[in-house]
Amino acid sequence: MHHFHYKNNKLYAEGVPLTEIAEAVGTPCYIYSQATLTHHFKVFDNAFSDVPHLTCYSVKANSNIALLKLFASLGGGVDVVSGGELFRALKADVSPKKIVFSGVGKTEDEIKMALEADILMFNVESEAELETIHEIASHLGKIAPIALRVNPDIDPKTHPYISTGLKKSKFGIDIKIAEQLYLKANHIPHIRVIGIDCHIGSQLTLLSPFLDALERIKLLYQKLEAQGLKLQYLDLGGGLGIPYGEEIPPHPTEYAQAIKAAAQDLNCTLIFEPGRVIVGNAGILLTKVLYLKQGKGKTFIIVDAAMNDLIRPSLYHAHHEIKPVEKMERPLVVADVVGPICETGDFFAQGRKMPLVQSGDLLAIMSAGAYGFVMSSNYNSRPRVAEVLVNGDRYQVIRKRECYEDLIRLEKIPEWMA
């Protein structure tokens, strides 16, 4: 569900025609719909309203502070994976007691920052990290609340780059040795063991991997309980997929029902770290057609956005629908939609049936709200694009387009060349 719809053959974000935003802000730009963001957050969160739970939006999916502020105002917490994300969350007034800190390589500075902020819990990914957290906590005279991120060795049946819960991946602690480490951690003075955590991958379109992982985690939870270690939090990570094209992932309420049924005898607070399911379909990348070029047996539609703005098609061969902002009677052609970057991998679609657009036409690359802007770069010295939030009939730029000066702001010509 989202609020990008055609009215009189023109594509709108809620009440605002995309042509209006293109004119005022320029292209390319990301456009997010606040009504969609709010709806997605509420649907997910309300699906668990009858059990103790905390929805910790995964900041990495889209870290704009306006979005973090919105989710915080809806009662959400966040999942962060770096000092930078923690900084953003605190700036957006997310309550520290609703922040969980994940990630395989937390630095000493990041751990210190999180301890000083009094976050809810660290999701610890190795014994070495546990020791470092303990050292820093004792130095600061604090007690660090932790969960161990357990790797349940489950195949999430998604793209290999976003599968994290298999034994061969770098993530989490092997479930076979987790019990030992829990019992050890429980006796470390500046560590308070309060939870168990797992995240098996992203863009999951089946329920079964979630439930298989939960079964394994439950066994561990119960073994620990039998040994007198009662855990308060069960963090099941994120990972629920969204429809980009033909796929039909489980609806959040279906996911919630299955998880609640499986976890009902555990009597603990559930934590979730959804990212994509909240923001993915709430955003688009608006781009303009620069040129058309006839290749062998296909047409190249060259647009002003590129792989540096949205890398998912290049990196994962991810499918994103591409819609004309103004629908017109046009013949269909088989086209590659490509950007201006000097790489063959710079494409948004290959061999796609597209209306024969013309130079100057606007296109909307759909489902770009998650892992879009956050993965963008300055490759080819392209300034990063603007981000716009639409709310009903209003819209506002929530991140300015970078300018050329921004590109070199932190660079310096060494003295010996001056």
Residue whose CB is less far from ligand LLP, 10 or 216: 216
Interface positions, 91-110, toward ligand LLP (CB under 6 A): 102
Give the SS3 label for residue 103: coil
CA–CA separation, 342 and 351 (whole Å): 20
**Residue whose CB is less far from ligand LLP, 209 or 238:** 238
Q: Binding string to ligand LLP for residues 202 to 231, with x set by CB under 6 A, is what?
A: xx----------------------------
User: Does residue 403 have an active-site annotation?
Assistant: no
- 371 binding ligand LLP? (CB under 6 A): yes
The annotation status of 316 as a binding-site residue, yes or no, is yes
CA-CA distance, 237 to 158, in Å (whole number)?
15
How far is 157 from 213, CA to CA, in rounded Å? 13
List of E strands, 339-393:
347-355, 362-365, 386-391
Task: Give, as ranges, the residues between 48 and 67 that touch ligand LLP (CB under 6 A).
Answer: 58, 60-61
**Rounded Cα distance, 19 and 12, in Å:** 8
Residue 44 Cβ vs ligand LLP, minimum distance, rounded to whole Å: 10
Q: Of 238, 249, 252, 283, which lies in the binding site for ligand LLP, with binding defined by CB under 6 A?
A: 238
Q: Which of 45, 153, 273, 336 binds ligand LLP (CB under 6 A)?
A: 273
Candidate ranges 6-14, 197-205, 215-223, 361-369; the one touching ligand LLP (CB under 6 A) = 197-205
What CA–CA distance (Å, rounded) separates 338 from 344?
Answer: 9
**CB 62 → ligand LLP: shortest distance, Å?**
9
Stretch that binds ligand LLP, among 112-120, 137-145, 235-243, 350-358 (CB under 6 A): 235-243
The stretch near ligand LLP (CB under 6 A) out of 24-32, 205-213, 272-280, 322-330 is: 272-280
Minimum CB distance to ligand LLP, residue 281 (Å):
12
Per CB under 6 A, 76 contacts ligand LLP: no
The stretch among 23-31, 236-244, 329-337, 378-386 that binds ligand LLP (CB under 6 A) is 236-244
DSSP-based three-state secondary structure for 353: strand
The secondary structure element, H or E, covering residue 178 is helix 175-185
| Dihedral sign of CA atoms 281, 370, 46, 14 in order | negative
Question: What's the token pair of residue 346?
Answer: 């710079």
The closest alpha carbon to 375, from 103, 158, 60, belongs to: 60
Q: Which of 29, 56, 198, 342 is catalytic?
A: 342
> Whole-angstrom Cα distance, residue 378 to residue 358?
27
| Nearer Cβ to ligand LLP (33/164) | 164
- Using DSSP's 3-state secondary structure scheme, residue 315 falls into helix
Residue type, 182: Y
Q: Hunting for tokens 């560590």 — which residue is that?
A: 191
Contact pick of 145, 156, 165, 239 for ligand LLP (by CB under 6 A): 239
Find the binder of ligand LLP among 51, 162, 333, 397 (CB under 6 A).
162
Question: DSSP 3-state assignment of 367?
Answer: coil
Q: Which two tokens stand for residue 406?
A: 């921004």
Q: Which is nearer to ligand LLP, 33 or 102 (CB)?
A: 102
Distance between CA atoms of 68 and 50, rounded to whole angstroms?
Answer: 24
DSSP line for 246-288: S--PPPHHHHHHHHHHHHGGG-SEEEE---HHHHGGGEEEEEE
Beta bridge mates, 163:
201
Q: Does 360 belong to an annotated binding site?
A: no
CB of 392 to ligand LLP, least distance (A): 27
Residues at the annotated binding site? Answer: 239, 273-276, 312, 316, 343, 371
Residues at the annotated binding site for substrate? Answer: 276, 312, 316, 343, 371
Annotated active-site positions, please? 342
Binding site for ligand LLP (CB under 6 A): 58, 60-61, 79, 102, 162, 164, 199, 202-203, 237-240, 273-277, 312, 316, 370-371
